[in-house]
Structure 1
Amino acid sequence: MKISQITFTRFLAAMAIVISHFNKDLFLYKIDYISNIFLKANVGVSYFFILSGFIMIVAYHKKDRIGYFDYYKNRFARIYPLYVVGLLLYLITRYSNFSIDKGLLYLFGLQSWIPGEAMILNFPGWSISVEFLFYLIFPWLYNHFYSKGNKSIWVVTIIIWIITQLFCTLYADSSYYEGPHTESHELLYYFPLMHINEFLVGNLAGLFFVKNSKQKNYDIPVVIIFTAVLLFLIFIPLFYHNGLMALLFIPLIIFISRNNGVLTRLFSLKPMEYLGEASYAIYITHIPVLYILREILNEYNLSIDIVFCIYIVVLIVTSILFYQFIEKPLRDYLKRIISR
């Protein structure tokens, strides 16, 4: 089952993250309320994690059992080539950060498991380290719980989600949390077990969707929920990073997926869907592309706003090229050679 309209939302989330990582002197950060949205736009990673869990169920829900080898092969071929490209591009301008031990840590996707190591090389890759955990456990969850209709996983997931929210909120306000750029910060924000709840609730949302996938016009609910997301980010100072926004993201994902209104027709246009397909390339290469572009543009003394406009165009174009000529061909090639 393919849900074309949900694919474009990945592009929107990726671009929000891109802006959140850009220079805070950008004009968007000088606009009241709008600045609050982009200062917290890294919550887009939470959306990715929840959507990942949702899509996994949608993609596999008709199977009685998932073969471990085929699943891991497909996931590896899908995510790993561009992950390595992002690392290599990053090292073009930040090679002084490289060492053999750190290189191996990142190549194996283990950086987020060690507080203090997650943000050294191409730091958006911390989330791919978390995704590796999701991919590792999903076949087991599917074969032993989801495919058998075992309802205990619903209880376990809700408990894990509640415990995660309580822990993160209390820890962030405690004396143990030392603030940004510390190991305690990386434990709170990037440690994979802090995000397992997002993947699990995404799985449950997927199970609900495949049993209740009748379509109708949900344009108004989608707009209302999206507006609620923005209002929460603007006005309510909560810890959103580790799954709290599932309360809004899950209904948003389900309504978009079941919608057959104007928004779906818009989001399902081929150019929109294609941008969504290229969103992984946007996300995983946006920091090295920014660093490389800054090196090139430094001598021109351009304003930060002009640099931003150039950056967005270059990022989208290069990401499309990465998707078309690296991600897709290598994905297909790896699937073939691993199957031999």
Structure 2
Amino acid sequence: MPSAPPRLGALTGLRFAAALAILLFHYGAPLIAGAPAWAGRLQVGGYAWVGLFYVLSGFVLAHAHPEPMGPPERRAFLAARLARLYPAYAIAFLLSAPFAAERWWDGGPVAAAKMGVVAVATLLLVHAWLPPIARLWNAPGWSTSVVASFYAAFPFVAARLGRLRRRGLLVALGAAWGLSLAFPLLYLALAPDGPGAVARPHEPPWLLALKFHPVPRAGEFLAGVSLGLLHRRGLALPRGGGAIAGVALAAAAAIIASGRAPYVLLHNGLLVPLYAIALLGLARGDGLLAGVLSSTPARTLGDAAFALYALQEPLWRWARLLAGAERAPASPAFVIAFCAAATGIAVAVSVSFERPVRRWLRARLSAEPPRRGAEAGGR
């Protein structure tokens, strides 16, 4: 049985860097006003870093759980994953409720029923399976729904992939990347929404499904799982992997900034090989970049990355409301202050709320129910 894996500290810090890039994708436009065109394309293309989260999640889970799980292990695993996702997600749900309810306010019974359906689907983390409602409550929460689906599938997927030898895992890694590209390539070939669909202000149904449904995004997660299992079996970059990781991440940023990659490919899967190289390089833990990302402050921020991602939209809307500037353009100073405040709130939520609630949930959800025979013996 493999020895217990070390904590991949640099990957924890990388999680915060990706979350910050997505935060700036949503709200950072005032910061690049008057900047070169490539900077604008880098900011507008920040959605591509969501794919890094999927590959990273699969990698870390496979690295930590390389062995097949029995029913008790699956129960404990799923309890731990739910406890990881839900505390900050629930806060974001509550903070978003007043803004989400505005959509259906004064719409009568039918609107109230629609709001109830969206609210229940969002609370159950299944709303990404219904792309038209995926972003109606707390928009970034669609990705949490996708990740929850991946977590539910992981014990079964990892058990199958874990039976493969190293060569088979390499094939699986390539196949997973191919799967992540297959859906956007089919979309480009078939154009089911008609010409110019990507540029429309309201995204058409097939584009919504391509971007937000868990199935088209599964290849990125499966690539991470295959890579994590390969890493546990000795696949690693040579010495200097941290520098190679930096080059890979810079190359990904350059592709985003170039503006030449088709939107749907960049959104779904195109950068998976570069993300894989970056994860392998940072997993070595050597070099300046790995040292910075594995530092205590970076790991603290990395632990708060999910809270920052989940809370960003409701915090932004409350900040704009309290500032009395809901409809006015945001200033660069406001954006900088918001990013700093949102990061501080995310760290506070992570330390003071997520961790104790996570311990409580894991204790309750992972406890095995007593066996019937044991109950009879006790009585």
- 1:229-288 Cα shifts (integer Å, max 9, x gaps): 121112232321111110111001101111312222222211111001100000010010
Correspondent of 2:159 among 126, 143, 164: 143
Which residue number corresponds to residue 109 of structure 1? Answer: 125
User: In structure 2, do the counterparts of structure 1 residues 230 and 144 end up closer, same or farther at CA, with 3 Å as the change threshold?
Assistant: closer
Which residue number corresponds to residue 81 of structure 1? Answer: 87
The alpha carbon displacement at 1:90 in A equals 1.0
Correspondent of 2:352 among 322, 325, 331: 325
2:347 is matched by which residue type in structure 1? I
Which residue number corresponds to residue 228 of structure 2? Answer: 206
Unaligned runs of 5+ in 2: 1-5, 105-114, 368-379
User: In structure 2, do the counterparts of structure 1 residues 47 and 160 end up closer, same or farther at CA, with 3 Å as the change threshold?
Assistant: closer
1:316 is matched by which residue type in structure 2? T
Any conservation in 1 of the 2:169–2:230 contact (CA below 8 Å)? no
2:135 aligns to what SS in structure 1? Answer: coil
Number of aligned residue pairs: 338
Please report the TM-score for the alignment, with normalisation by the length of structure 1: 0.92
Any conservation in 2 of the 1:10–1:276 contact (CA below 8 Å)? yes
Which residue number corresponds to residue 272 of structure 1? Answer: 298
Any conservation in 1 of the 2:176–2:223 contact (CA below 8 Å)? no
Which residue number corresponds to residue 97 of structure 2? Answer: 91
Query: Take 1:211 and 1:155, find their aligned partners in 2: how far apart are those partners?
Result: 15
Which residue number corresponds to residue 298 of structure 1? Answer: 324
Which residue number corresponds to residue 197 of structure 1? Answer: 219
Which residue number corresponds to residue 337 of structure 1? Answer: 364
2:349 is matched by which residue type in structure 1? F
Any conservation in 2 of the 1:29–1:38 contact (CA below 8 Å)? no
2:51 aligns to what SS in structure 1? Answer: helix
Indicate yes or no: 2:40 matched with 1:40: no
Any conservation in 2 of the 1:145–1:151 contact (CA below 8 Å)? no
Deviates most, 166-175 or 29-38: 166-175
Correspondent of 1:261 among 275, 281, 287: 287
User: In structure 2, do the counterparts of structure 1 residues 29 and 266 end up closer, same or farther at CA, with 3 Å as the change threshold?
Assistant: same
The alpha carbon displacement at 1:134 in A equals 0.8
The alpha carbon displacement at 1:163 in A equals 4.2
Unaligned runs of 5+ in 1: none
2:208 is matched by which residue type in structure 1? E
Any conservation in 1 of the 2:181–2:269 contact (CA below 8 Å)? yes
2:299 aligns to what SS in structure 1? Answer: helix
1:123 aligns to what SS in structure 2? Answer: coil
Query: Take 2:222 and 2:98, find their aligned partners in 1: how far apart are those partners?
Result: 37
Which residue number corresponds to residue 119 of structure 1? Answer: 135
Deviates most, 309-318 or 95-104: 95-104
Please report the TM-score for the alignment, with normalisation by the length of structure 2: 0.83
Query: Take 1:50 and 1:22, find their aligned partners in 2: how far apart are those partners?
Result: 24
1:97 aligns to what SS in structure 2? Answer: coil
User: In structure 2, do the counterparts of structure 1 residues 323 and 191 end up closer, same or farther at CA, with 3 Å as the change threshold?
Assistant: same
The alpha carbon displacement at 1:206 in A equals 0.7
Indicate the RMSD between aligned Cα atoms, in angstroms. Answer: 2.3
Task: Select the structure of larger CA radius of gyration.
Answer: 2
The alpha carbon displacement at 1:173 in A equals 5.9
User: In structure 2, do the counterparts of structure 1 residues 142 and 248 end up closer, same or farther at CA, with 3 Å as the change threshold?
Assistant: same
1:31 is matched by which residue type in structure 2? A
Correspondent of 2:249 among 219, 226, 234: 226
Any conservation in 2 of the 1:57–1:207 contact (CA below 8 Å)? yes
Any conservation in 2 of the 1:87–1:122 contact (CA below 8 Å)? yes
- 1:126-161 Cα shifts (integer Å, max 9, x gaps): 111111111111111223331564965654553353
Query: Take 2:309 and 2:222, find their aligned partners in 1: how far apart are those partners?
Result: 22
2:129 is matched by which residue type in structure 1? W
- 1:64-99 Cα shifts (integer Å, max 9, x gaps): 535221111111111112111111111133322361
Which residue number corresponds to residue 237 of structure 1? Answer: 261
The alpha carbon displacement at 1:319 in A equals 0.5
Query: Take 1:163 and 1:218, find their aligned partners in 2: how far apart are those partners?
Result: 27
Provide the identity percentage.
22
Query: Take 1:113 and 1:29, find their aligned partners in 2: how far apart are those partners?
Result: 36
User: In structure 2, do the counterparts of structure 1 residues 154 and 288 end up closer, same or farther at CA, with 3 Å as the change threshold?
Assistant: same
User: In structure 2, do the counterparts of structure 1 residues 29 and 167 end up closer, same or farther at CA, with 3 Å as the change threshold?
Assistant: farther
Query: Take 2:97 and 2:223, find their aligned partners in 1: how far apart are those partners?
Result: 36
User: In structure 2, do the counterparts of structure 1 residues 324 and 92 end up closer, same or farther at CA, with 3 Å as the change threshold?
Assistant: farther
User: In structure 2, do the counterparts of structure 1 residues 307 and 134 end up closer, same or farther at CA, with 3 Å as the change threshold?
Assistant: same
The alpha carbon displacement at 1:59 in A equals 0.9
User: In structure 2, do the counterparts of structure 1 residues 57 and 93 end up closer, same or farther at CA, with 3 Å as the change threshold?
Assistant: same
